Structure 1
Amino acid sequence: MTFKRITEQDSLHNNLEDKSVRELLIGIHQEDQKVIGAVNLVLPEIEKLIKSVVSQLEKGGRLFYIGAGTSGRLGILDASECPPTFGSDPNQVVGIIAGGKTAVYKAVENAEDNKNQGWDDLKEYGISSKDIVVGIAASGTTPYVIGALKKAQENKIPTGSICCNPNSPLSAVSDLSIEVIVGPEFVTGSSRMKAGTAQKLILNMITTATMIRLGHIRNNKMVDMQMNNKKLKQRAVGILKEHLSISEEEAINLISENKSIRKSIDKYNSNE
């Protein structure tokens, strides 16, 4: 099967500079609507990857996202949101980007072209066969990511991947590949748009479903979330009021005493 660079194909929308703002918005929105359908088509592949992630994390392993540019930033974003949302160990889900921290804010020249650096970056974390590495690259051709996954496979480390071109070189070095085909971008080649949106949706699924399976959610509530601002403290009070059928004053007292939604629930139930 041949490799097609669909992410680089010419936009279906022409003469963008001549369009009004309303016309631009309509065009972008038309393209964005294609993303949901594309993600729907790869749900079986996403499920397989999540099951593997859960299995590795249940063994004490870690999930590593590795990417360059927008893909790398999305991985870092998803990883960074796990501790405050789920109360997970900050080292359990790790995002790595070509070019290091500097690349989070601005492009680092040639960083994604080094096929050896990705593995070197993973080794800094003492990566092992207990872990799992998910490479993210809209094109599916990024040397930094491909090199990292290839070396991971050679070292018996499970691998997954997310890209937006079919039969990509990245998928060839991935045990569990997800190829979400969203079509050409509104602005030709600007894969931060539909491709980035698709990647974000899939990353949300991976960590959310994984953390639910690992027990960080009760019913549909974030019982392990970090209460580090007024809004979240109020949310915690609301969760306790609903879950335990208690007054606001009782909920506030429980949170004040236990500093944790989960501990508050367990403490209340143990006293019943």
Structure 2
Amino acid sequence: MTSTSPVHGDLRAELETLTTEAFRPDLADVDRLPTLDIAHLMNSEDRSVPGAVAQHLPAIAAAIDAAAERMARGGRLIYAGAGTAGRLGVLDASECPPTFNTDPSQVVGLIAGGPSAFVNAVEGAEDSGELAASDLAGLGVGADDTVVGVSASGRTPYAVGAVRYARSRGALTVGLSCNENSPLAAAAEHGVEVVVGPELLSGSTRLKAGTAQKLVLNMISTITMIRLGKTYGNLMVDLRASNEKLRARSRRIVAYATGAGEEEVEAALKATEGEVKPAILTILAEVDAVTASRLLTEAQGHLRAALRAAP
């Protein structure tokens, strides 16, 4: 006869209340279905995720505006989570430098257990709010920073602890989860609870919940960068051309933005040492590279503002 400790019993009871952990009897025989039928089921489930995200767009937009305001003052965007949620935060952060030419310290992903947890589970790491506080203290989190706690359940101690510590330091806090009335949303100034319902595989929150979190993190980073002037229209004008593919993309972006021919585009990029934004400015404003750089500095990197200020 086995016994259940009070702690384990409480945890089991708590998990049973979570939408993301719910069991779906209608899918009990999913393993007996043909592969194509399972694929149709998964695709049907996934189609519900954007609609669930859409219900929270006002809350997401408010969080983005608040984060962009702080980042414009020199603050950072910091994601904190465990497991899949932590990996998604690290992924989103790691894609900002090549996409928007941000310094790696501007958008940071923290995962419970450290970098090794990205590929290997670190037992017990997600259960420590103190570990999250220590990780954020190591970054010197302050009032100009934004900390986004990410947790499908909304109860992961690492994510909740990160938000609580960040808020105690005056940072802006966002809690992203996939269950209603979560401790994470309650701890944050901006709570975003995207309820996507039970998973195809009970409790496998890398599925719909992970997709929802990825969609929201895409919005947070992308729209924040748009607000910070990292784009010109829908062009990534702060692109860092670190390989031949990106160098080719840089040439196309300058051409799209200016309508200039190949020779003029090449000359502009050569004059600005491959930097897309000043290259566009040299062509559209008919200024030299030094002037373009100065105008962009004075406009805090916003290309449209620099064009308005050009002689």
TM over 0.5: yes
Alpha-carbon distance between aligned partners in 2 of 1:145 and 1:104, rounded to the nearest angstrom: 16
Residue 247 in structure 1 maps to residue 253 in structure 2: no
Structure 2 counterpart of 1:31, which letter?
E
- Once the two structures are superposed, what CA deviation does each residue of 1:72-109 show, in whole Å capped at 9, x if it has no partner? 00001111111111112221111100000100111111
2:200 aligned with 1:186, yes or no? yes
Query: 1:271 is matched with which residue: 286, 289, 304?
Result: 286
Counterpart for residue 188 of structure 2: 174
Q: Aligned equivalents of 1:73 and 1:203: distance in 2?
A: 12
| C-alpha separation in 2, matches of 1:242 and 1:160 | 36
CA 1:239–1:156 in 2, change beyond 3 Å: closer, same or farther? Answer: closer
- Of residues 22, 27, 34 in structure 1, which corresponds to 2:36? 22
Contact 2:127–2:156 (Cα < 8 Å) also in 1: yes
119, 142, 150: which one aligns with 2:156: 142
Identify the match of residue 147 of structure 2 among 117, 130, 133: 133
Alignment partner for residue 84 of structure 2, among 52, 55, 70? 70
Shift in Å at residue 112 of structure 1? 0.3
One-letter amino acid of the counterpart of residue 20, structure 2? T
Q: Which residue of 2 is the match for residue 155 of structure 1?
A: 169
Residues 69 and 103, structure 1, Cα contact 8 Å, conserved in 2:
yes
1:230 matched to 2:244: yes
Residue 270 of structure 1, CA deviation = 4.2
Q: Which runs of 5+ in 2 are unaligned?
A: 1-13, 288-311
- Give the aligned partner of residue 8 of structure 1: 21
Give the aligned partner of residue 7 of structure 2.
none
Query: Retained in 1: the 8 A contact 2:79–2:86?
Result: yes
Name which of 60, 85, 93 aligns with 2:74: 60
Q: Aligned with 2:147: secondary structure? A: strand
Kept in 2, the 8 Å contact 1:185–1:194? The answer is yes
The match for 1:217 is 231
Structure 1: which 5+ runs fail to align?
A: none
TM-score, length of structure 2 as denominator length: 0.84
Q: Secondary structure at the match of 2:48?
A: helix
Cα distance in 2 for partners of 1:155, 1:91 equals 18
TM-aligned CA distance change 1:251 to 1:135, over 3 Å? same
Summarize deviations over 1:24-58 as a string: whole Å, max 9, x none: 10110111011011001011110111011111111
Q: Does structure 2 retain, via aligned residues, the 8 Å contact 1:13–1:27?
A: no
User: In 1, distance between residues paired with 2:196 and 2:285?
Assistant: 51
Residues 131, 158 of structure 1: 8 Å contact kept: yes
What TM-score results when the alignment is normalised by the length of structure 1? 0.96
DSSP-derived class of the 1:116 partner: helix
Kept in 2, the 8 Å contact 1:138–1:191? The answer is yes
Identity of aligned residues (%): 43
Query: What's the secondary structure of 2:139's corresponding residue?
Result: coil
CA contact (8 A) 2:141 2:169 kept: no
> Helix, strand or coil: the match of 1:124?
helix
- Give the structure with higher Rg (CA): 2
> 2: CA distance between counterparts of 1:16 and 1:256?
58
Distance 2:260 2:185 in 1: 51
Q: What is the distance in 2 between the residues matched to 1:93 and 1:242? A: 28
Compute the RMSD of aligned alpha carbons: 1.5
1:178 Cα offset (Å):
0.2
**Greater mean alpha carbon deviation, residues 262-271 or residues 158-167:** 262-271
Q: Distance in 1 between matches of 2:178 and 2:285?
A: 50
Does structure 1 residue 102 correspond to structure 2 residue 104? no
Deviations 1:233-259 (A, max 9, x none): 112111222222221122123223321
State which drifts further: 2-11 or 227-236: 2-11
CA 243–158 in structure 1, closer or farther in 2 if over 3 Å, else same: closer
